[in-house]
Amino acid sequence: MSSQLTLANIRRQLVRLEETIIFALIERAQFCRNPKVYEKGAFPEGCGHESLVGFLLHETEKIHAQMRRYTSPDEHPFFRDLPEPVLLPLRYEHNPLHPNTVNINDRIRDAYEQDIVPLICRDGDDQQYGSSAVCDVALLQSLSKRIHYGKFVAESKFRSHPETYNSLIRAADDTGLLQALTDQEVESQVLKRVERKATLYCAELRNAGGDHDHPVDPQAVVAVYANWIVPCTKLVQVQYLRQRLPDARRSVDPK
Amino acid sequence: MSSQLTLANIRRQLVRLEETIIFALIERAQFCRNPKVYEKGAFPEGCGHESLVGFLLHETEKIHAQMRRYTSPDEHPFFRDLPEPVLLPLRYEHNPLHPNTVNINDRIRDAYEQDIVPLICRDGDDQQYGSSAVCDVALLQSLSKRIHYGKFVAESKFRSHPETYNSLIRAADDTGLLQALTDQEVESQVLKRVERKATLYCAELRNAGGDHDHPVDPQAVVAVYANWIVPCTKLVQVQYLRQRLPDARRSVDPK
């Protein structure tokens, strides 16, 4: 099996991404919620019909696409109208995933703007729009990467128990798939580890900065994992497996 | 005195930026040194005469300039040919700094590429050029912000002891200025705190990820502060004070 698909290696990547996400949440929580940056058309002079965050995300993806970011199987863009890479393609050892079109970034962006930001930031508007939006883009990119890593998890699990998954996929049994994919023990370990890390990092920060910094609440970080990251990762797994069989490809909407 | 200029508030900002810088160093250290991304002309198909990092930094600054990043007194661009902001200007309460042209980003970029990256990253080339460069841009921006914060430190110290500084500035006595600005006690506190934080964050990471992640060495983080951040901040302070007197402005090179 490709080394990218051993569960130990996948888990190591997911654990490593926890720091990236927790650090990014802490960075965003420095600023107020600033709802204006998510409002479409709020800055017509620069961002047209997009929101400020949408504009910055789009512009950032255009540059990153040129640097071939989205040729990597673990990266998924939020926008579709991106330029071609200007760097020569990297030869990935071998993309271990089955061809698929799964991309739930629209859902991630909605959840982020509507639920996650209000959870981690103080209410209000501090006018730090650019700084907030720069943090938002970094966070959206990390969340997307973490959540779409579900494809590797699903592929690995599929290869370990092809019979089980084959029959569930053929029966289009999403509930059965979800049950087969769920490992309650591992999920609760993830949440405990995230809580421990978030507590550690936030305490250090509070300690150094006093009360003025409004560091993010560790329980809010756990909630981001429990309510959005874990369920969205499972959604990616189910959607991926639904496209996993050779003959299932025909039903994939090619748009 | 403006709240931006109380030493307690400035210090709180500097302490807060330590996390940003340490987190960013840890992120960069995931990838190999990848010297090719700093080589000018190494990717002529996409980056022309610039290096990959230079190209990404420039493109990023163009977008951030549109979001009025560089109208803030604590932000300094690496490039000069940037577009005008598309957002309406923020009304900063009051820019507490004396008008000045100090910007040592060229020096920061050289030190970063030639000294800091080799110190924190494993040697070699893992072809993760885009990912490395994204980390580089984030780090260069944080280092620049931290180091140019020296302007606020210098302004605050100047206002507390105007007589002392006035005579040193009039005498163009850089050595005397450096001595007056240096507080050995505070410097050693900074290094101790950075060491403690870096040890904490890196241990947590090593703990979670095993040996494969090559987390950055805490002593390397301390060295980045001791050898580059602290001395560069003092350089900014001296350069700023040399432009501090009303009649000193005439000697400012306007380019």
Give chain A's mean pLDDT: 89
Q: How many Cα atoms are found within 13 Å in the side-chain-facing hemisphere of A217?
A: 11
Pairwise CB contact (< 8 Å): B86 & A45: yes
User: ipTM higher than 0.85?
Assistant: no
Tell me the average pLDDT across A228-248.
91
Give chain B's mean pLDDT: 89
Distance from the A176 Cα atom to the nearest Cα atom in chain B, whole angstroms? 32
Identify the residue among B19, B55, B206 best suited for mutation to test binding to A, counting A beta carbons within 10 A and taking the highest.
B19
Q: pLDDT value at position A250?
A: 45
Residue A83's nearest CA partner among B45, B67, B134 is: B45
Tell whether the model's pLDDT for residue A180 goes beyond 50: yes
Measured distance CA(B210)–CA(A15) in Å, rounded: 10
With bands split at pLDDT 50, 70 and 90, how would you rate the model's confidence at A90? low
Chain position carrying tokens 């241990």: B203
Chain position carrying tokens 């703007």: A113
Measured distance CA(B117)–CA(B124) in Å, rounded: 12
Q: pLDDT value at position B166?
A: 96
Using one digit for the tens of pLDDT, what is the confidence trace for A93-131? 578 899 999 999 999 999 999 999 999 999 999 988 999
Q: pLDDT value at position B89?
A: 66
Using one digit for the tens of pLDDT, what is the confidence trace for A125-174? 998 899 999 999 999 999 999 999 999 999 999 999 999 999 999 999 99
At position A32, the amino acid (one-letter code) is C
**Contact B162/B252 with Cβ under 8 angstroms?**
no
DSSP letter at A137 equals: H
Q: Lowest-confidence range among A135-139, A206-210, A232-236, B61-65? A: A206-210
**Contact A180/A164 with Cβ under 8 angstroms?**
yes
At position B208, the amino acid (one-letter code) is A
- Can you tell me whether residue A129 is helix, strand or coil? helix
Q: pLDDT value at position B92?
A: 58
Tell whether the model's pLDDT for residue A185 goes beyond 50: yes
B197–chain A Cβ distance below 8 A for any pair: yes
**Contact A165/A177 with Cβ under 8 angstroms?**
yes
Pairwise CB contact (< 8 Å): B87 & A19: no
Q: pLDDT value at position A225?
A: 98
Tell me the average pLDDT across A231-236.
97
Q: Which residues of chain B are modeled with pLDDT < 50?
A: 211, 249-255
Identify the residue among A28, A43, A59, A67 best suited for mutation to test binding to B, counting B beta carbons within 10 A and taking the highest.
A67
Q: pLDDT value at position B24?
A: 92
Measured distance CA(A28)–CA(A10) in Å, rounded: 27
Q: Show the CA angle centred on residue A67, arms to residues A65 and A69, nearest 5°.
A: 60
CB pairs < 8 Å spanning A and B:
109
The model's pTM is 0.88
Measured distance CA(A64)–CA(A74) in Å, rounded: 14
